[in-house]
Amino acid sequence: MLLRHPAAAYAAPFACFILCLALLPKLPLTPRAQLAVWLAAGFGAVLLFSRQVLDFRLRAPAISVAVGAAVFIVWVAPDLLFPALRSHWLFSNALLGSPAASLSPAALGDPAVLAMRTARAVLLVPVVEELFWRGFLMRWLEHHDFGKVPLGSWEPRAFWTTAALFALEHGSYWDVGFLAGAAYNAWMVRTKSLGDLILAHAVTNACLAAYVLWTQRYEYWL
């Protein structure tokens, strides 16, 4: 069965996350209910499929925090330097969409919604995405029997393809998404540690969440 395939431990939570992204906004649920279902489904999928491969041990925690903070700076710097950048057709078009908040103004005024949206970004997304992008895909692109490929293996085609696909996942922010993907990939090659990547990604998302809440630049929460 597909769910018993070794890849399921790395890919099933990500597939669940994408399914929630596609389906939940179409259901007659309040924003609170949507996020509650999203968190329950995401963490449930991680517990169900990924417990045996999750490893939170850290090899370089201080540097992982610094990497995460640096990626955050890279993420927001272009818009601070060039405020009209995202209105260019390269970043706002029919294929990529355009930067806009995914939550309604009423939802953005609800502290519970903001807390759950922050929890999703900081606690769930780093685990789900690092399992998939650097735990699975970067290895699978190197060899389809990915279990033979150690975490953090360096293979240029797999490295850059993963960075490019990670960029596309972030829509109008594909440029900084590509740089972030390359930075995370490089840190995985250096540390060979899923725990360090989860920490770095969580720091990036925590910094971005704090920035979003402080500046009310909710378009970063696509």
What per-residue confidence (pLDDT) applies to 1? 54
Residue 125 CA to residue 121 CA, distance in Å, equals: 5
pLDDT band at 61; cut points 50, 70, 90: very high
pLDDT at 157 over 70: yes
pLDDT of 4 over the 80 cut:
no
Distance between CA atoms of 79 and 96, rounded to whole angstroms? 17
pLDDT of residue 3: 66
What is the overall mean pLDDT for the chain? 96
Residue 54 has which token pair? 């999750």
- Please, which pLDDT band fits residue 222 given cuts at 50, 70 and 90? confident
Structural tokens at position 61: 């925690």
The alpha carbon of 196 is separated from its chain's Cα centroid by a whole number of angstroms, namely 14
HSE, side-chain direction, 13 A CA sphere, residue 30: 10
Residues in the chain: 222
Asked whether the beta carbons of 72 and 207 are under 8 A apart, the reply is: yes
Q: How far apart are CA 85 and CA 107, in angstroms?
A: 27
Low-confidence winner among 96-100, 133-137, 183-187 (lowest mean pLDDT): 96-100
Q: Is the pLDDT of residue 13 over 60?
A: yes
Question: Is the pLDDT at 46 greater than 90, yes or no?
Answer: yes
